Amino acid sequence: EQIIIATNNDGKLREFQKLFAAKNIEVTSLKNYPEIGKIAETGMTFEENATIKASAVAKKTKLPVLADDSGLEVDALNGRPGIFSARYAGDHDDAANNAKLLSELAGVPVEKRTATFHTTLVLMKPDDSKLVVDGELRGRILAVPRGDNGFGYDPLFWVPEKNQSLAEMTAEEKNTISHRGRASQKLLKVFDDWW
Ligand code: ITT
Ligand code: NA
């Protein structure tokens, strides 16, 4: 079995490779399809954006495609950056995004720094039929980054049950509890029947 992950994000790809290895599903990314350029995410929801990415790639490859649209919803910021998490500080730049998040939350006390990480996955067949699943993780935004693992906002996302940031966890630990891990577990549960 082969699935293309419609992503240019190496951090996501690494996590999916681990998550899907258990099912013997081989995962490749858009790196193998340089002719597919940047896909404009013009939707207003995670599902719309994931569907746009999946369907653009399915059309070109005629293969099953999985797309991930994710984002960080910060309560004190009324749910921002949300679907704009990649473009929060302009062009996709993790360091700039994290710096902007810290500055927007400057002075906000720890108990008010609650946030949700959200992932919507869209699995699409070449005939455009799709399977949609979501996953979420609640946590808090730290005032100082912690840990070197993971990617994106991981050093700033603290998980109370573990007393660790996502960047302090191993990839396996993160996959067990994360938004992406939870969505993937749902997907893998129904995958065989749906396929
Ligand atoms: P693709 O669209 O190519 O998949 P992207 O990084 O642009 O890659 P999104 O549109 O889903 O993906 O943007 C999600 C943003 O949230 C982006 O800034 C990521 O770095 C960040 N992000 C997503 N999942 C994350 C995770 O598990 N931990 C930390 N940051 C994450
Ligand atoms: Na997006």
pLDDT tens by residue, 104-152: 999 999 999 999 999 999 999 888 899 999 999 999 999 999 999 999 9
Q: What's the predicted TM-score (pTM) here? A: 0.96
- pLDDT tens-digit profile of 97-106? 999 999 999 9
CB of 174 sitting under 6 A from ligand 1: no
**Which residue CA neighbors atom 19 of ligand 1 most closely?**
152
Per DSSP, which regions of 64-153 are E strands?
A: 65-74, 114-124, 130-141
38 residue type, one letter: K
Domain at 2-194: CATH architecture? Alpha-Beta Complex (3.90)
Atom number, ligand 1, closest to the C-alpha of residue 49: 10
ipTM given for this complex: 0.99
